[in-house]
Structure 1
Amino acid sequence: MEQIIKLNQENLAEISKRIPCPTYDRSQLKTGIVHVGIGGFHRAHEAFYTDELLHDEAIKDWGICGIALLDFDTKIYNTLKAQDGLYTLIIKELDGTLTKRVIGSITECLFAPENPIKVIEKMASPDVKIITLTITEGGYNYNEATKEFDFSNPLIQHDLDHPEAPKTIFGYLTQALKLRKERSLQGCTIQSCDNIQGNGHMTKRMLMSYVNTAEPELSAWIETNVSFPNAMVDRITPATSALDIELLKETSGIDDAWPVVCEPFKQWVIEDDFIAGRPAWETVGAQFVKDVVPYEKMKLSLLNAGHSVLGILGALYGYSTIDEAVGNADISSFLRIYMGNEVTPTLGDLEGVNLKNYKFSLIQRFGNTYIKDQIDRICSQSSAKIPIFILPTINTQLETKGSIDHAAFIIAAFAIYSVGVNEFGTQLIIKDAMEQVLNEKAIASRTHPESFLEIDAIFGSLKDNTTFVAAYTKAYQNIVQNGIEKAVKDINSNILNDI
């Protein structure tokens, strides 16, 4: 076996003899992008696109400074810092082959809890033109019941009381934009890369809600000097496992403490609204359009919702990975019927998109046996995902009197999942900010199934819709009385669907 080489800048020339590495001079790059949330998805997506672009050595203004925002992010920060921001991207092809390369676009890393002022100053730097975000669906502090910014969040209260030492993205952005205004600097673009429909609109609305309370005199300046483009992002990126780290050592002799694994498919559709300039990402595969909404609605309602369907049902079946779940004929049939009969009617006209082919490709992507996307990762923070991925389909179908039976079944399955143990006695790993409330309502649902729908922050007024409640209750009782496997077979039976 080849000698093991630790991944860092000093060893890059030697590593480049084994796998492709950055050929550009990283030391000459300016930081033009600050990215908050340097987890796997960002490193498989935006950082990948930017690395591709930087191989044009005339481009020197778009290095990325990665911000680890939360105390929880200590490990990724320490790892990337030790590796000079470098990491290996491992693309797991459908035939099982591995395409590996070192990504060099992250040239700086900062740990926000350690030095909040340094992070604020970096965001306010004149060189920084774009601040991008992957803070997860729950990071936007949006309350589904009130449809407003959640000022009751203790971290938001902290940021209002201690603006110089914020803990949330809203506190950091507000102070950085305040500095830009005070120093008569140019504004910047704030770009969400999270799975939220209208993610740019959501980012602006939530930030302005905070600013109007925290620094109201800043509002008018933001309206004039900051842009918030919408974007749709797509690349399945499972959590890195110890096996992935060992596989990289065995196949390439590279010691990377946190490589990123992903599927070959990638997509980035962006609204072209960048107030201070932008990288030419379109030259490396991104697509700039006037209106992102049709693309993101399709992706959120089909891919992201599909992931949640497979995750929740798969957990109840006792599976541990998404490919196992989609490999079950009854679960894959359930997903096809849900996508075809309940989601597709809500999507409208999608110019330039072959929807049938797209849905077929999703089944293939979910079934990639080499990705091994963990079900507990997909199910994590479902309380934030379901209002974004599944409820819009339910609400539209209720308005048009369309079918909601499979969607109601998913919500019933989520209620049973939230008890924390499946019918085989297997403890479920539930990672959710609302875990306690979910569990309490799930237990209450054993005697009154509709109790689960009383979680207003997730379901809003859905509990008041008699059509949905009837379908949900029927599905809940079917699962409890007959078991998940028979219940899925029953709801699938006699339904014809052309995906």
Structure 2
Amino acid sequence: MTTKLNQANLPAIANRAAVPQYDRGALRAGILHFGVGNFHRAHQAVYLDDLFNAGGSLDWAIVGAGVRPADEDMRQKLKVQDWLTTVVEQEADLSRARVTGAMVDYIKPGDIEATLEMLANPAIRIVSLTITEGGYYIDPASQQFDPTHPDIVADAYNIAAPRTAFGLILGGLMRRRDAGVDPFTVMSCDNIPGNGHVTQNAVAGLAALIDPLLAAWVHEHVAFPNSMVDRITPATSAREREMLEKDFGIEDNWPVFCEAFKQWVLEDHFPSGRPALERVGVQFVPDVAPFELMKIRILNGGHATIAYPAALMDIHFVHEAMEEPLVRRFLEKVEREEIIPIVPPVPDTSLDEYYELIDRRFSNPKIGDTITRLCLDGSNRQPKFILPSAADRLAAGQGVTGLALVSALWCRYCYGETDSGTPIAPNDPSWDRLTAAAKKAKADPQAWLAMGDIFGPLARNPAYVAAFSHALTTLWEVGTRETLIRYLEDRL
């Protein structure tokens, strides 16, 4: 017999899963969060739930917000279960469930006035974001904020009725400034190098289109701490819902399955206050950059490294990719020979041990993370996770055979079919453009590099062009499996 997740049923669920030990009725909103997806509910919301269970800080509960019409589906599914979420942590020898209760409300997406009103509320002292790497209006090649994007231009023209997260944040800040209320801290939790700086550039960049004095005020008065966040959290499907009902007897409209490991490194820059997250494992540091670069290059870069060869070999799950010797050895060779050697030292951290941890996490058979998810949005992820490593190596006079092959595999994937001829469904906001370029690149590899907004100066570097062109040509001549063998045997 299963039990529907809601506040009234928590006593019945308590013998199957951990439930909040605090009085949810005593919670008060202190954080507004844009992007209530799986990662947020498996990460930030879990840390806050841990903190509330530890006693105190009950004035830091979460109010959700969104800007996409699709966000309404998540809102409705969470609303009927009183904003509760079941989080299932899974390892090879472990499966445990908990119900988190850190969220107390979720503003209807598209209700601009309600969102601005909440942002102007003095109780809201932090605004956090998980809106994905592609949601920051960053030019892929320059990695700078793009003030010419039509969404940004529209918000600048009518900041009284903004449509983007950054327009809403700026609108809320303007209301607080005009009312003499201290600004909230803006905290990005997305996997972007210097995510705090990137967020500041977006908010201040939009402000500059409206009034240079407003932009200067944002720079002077609003805090944007950088952070590094980590927890492998796959998408929820019918598979996860059925597993939750079968293994724990809980009916949850949108449960989250994730690994047991989680990490949050955060710069301690919160002028309006913050929850005492250090009590529950958050690491506060003066500079998050070394931790962030390590994670983005080694973990996120590692995901990109295994994603495309696995997809081209018709492998479905990430742990299955790690069970394929060619993919696992490819990952290790690229990491140990090309990525790790150019990652700067990280305080109190062994990069080799960090990679070994990554290897174990990728190999977790319980997670059910899909190769399709790792392949998603390569046009935004390659310029952040792979191409910077290649640029750094070339600047140091070092080779990029493996990293160029990673990008060539991405190009081959965007052709739209696997080595067996199985069609690949569109998996990028720019899929039509990428597919057209990949088809041209089959005969002329430089047609792929011609996307200057993605490759930037790398497209003009003779060493990179030669390595990429040879890798892509080899993929078309002999296929993914044989190309990996040649690379592993130093014959590529």
Secondary structure, aligned partner of 1:227: coil
Percent identical residues:
37
Cα RMSD of the aligned pairs, angstroms, is 1.4
Matched, 1:256 2:252: yes
The answer as to whether partners of 2:207 and 2:214 remain within 8 angstroms in 1 is yes
Partner of 1:69: 67
Distance 1:192 1:491 in 2: 38
Look up the match of 2:88: 90
**TM-score, length-scaled by structure 1:** 0.96
1:301 aligns with 2:297: yes
C-alpha distance in 2 between matches for 1:124 and 1:328: 52
Say if 1:92 and 1:99, in contact at 8 Å, map to a contact too: yes
8 A contact 1:188–1:225 mirrored in 2? no
Q: Indicate which of 102, 121, 128 corresponds to 2:117.
A: 121
Partner of 1:359: 355
**Deviation of 1:449 (Å):** 0.8
Q: Per-residue deviation at 1:218? A: 2.0
| Residue 102 in structure 1 maps to residue 99 in structure 2 | yes
Q: Which residue of 1 aligns with 2:382?
A: 386
Q: Does structure 1 retain, via aligned residues, the 8 Å contact 2:442–2:473?
A: no
Q: How many Å separate the matches in 2 of 1:335 and 1:34? A: 38
The 5 A counterparts of 1:262-277 are: 262-277=258-273
1:141 maps onto 2:137 in alignment = yes
Instruction: Name the counterpart of 1:6.
Output: 4
Q: Name the SS for the 1:461 alignment partner.
A: helix
CA distance in 1, matches of 2:96, 2:395: 46
Give the whole-Å Cα distance in 1 for the aligned partners of 2:16 and 2:345: 47
**One-letter amino acid of the counterpart of residue 323, structure 2:** G
CA contact (8 A) 2:145 2:198 kept: no
Task: Select which of 338, 341, 360 maps to 2:337.
Answer: 341
Give the 3-state SS of the residue equivalent to 2:187 in structure 1.
strand
Contact 1:420 1:429 in 2 (8 A): yes
| Correspondence list, 1:46-445, <5 A | 46-95=44-93, 97-113=94-110, 115-445=111-441
Distance in 2 between residues matched to 1:150 and 1:218, nearest whole Å: 18
Q: 1:201 to 1:56 in 2, by over 3 A?
A: same
**1:146, distance to aligned residue in structure 2 (A):** 4.3
Q: Following the alignment from structure 2 to structure 1, what is the Cα–Cα distance between the partners of residues 101 and 439?
A: 48
Q: CA deviation at 1:187?
A: 1.3
Give the counterpart letter for 2:449 in structure 1: L
Q: Quick one: distance in 2 between partners of 1:57 and 1:233?
A: 24
CA deviations on 1:201-256 (whole Å, 9 max, x unpaired) are 11111221111103433223322321011110010001112121112112222110
1:13 Cα offset (Å): 2.3
Residue equivalent to 1:41:
39
In 2, Cα distance between equivalents of 1:459 and 1:435: 16
Contact persistence 1:174–1:211 (CA under 8 A)? yes
Does the CA contact (< 8 Å) of 1:180 and 1:186 recur in 2?
yes
CA–CA distance in structure 1, aligned partners of residues 73 and 122 of structure 2: 29
C-alpha displacement at 1:494, in angstroms?
4.4
Structure 1 residue ranges without an equivalent (≥5): none
Give, in whole Å, the separation in 2 of the partners of 1:251 and 1:372. 16
Query: Distance between the aligned counterparts of 1:136 and 1:108, measured in 2?
Result: 22
| Letter of the 1:282 counterpart | E
CA contact (8 A) 1:174 1:215 kept: no
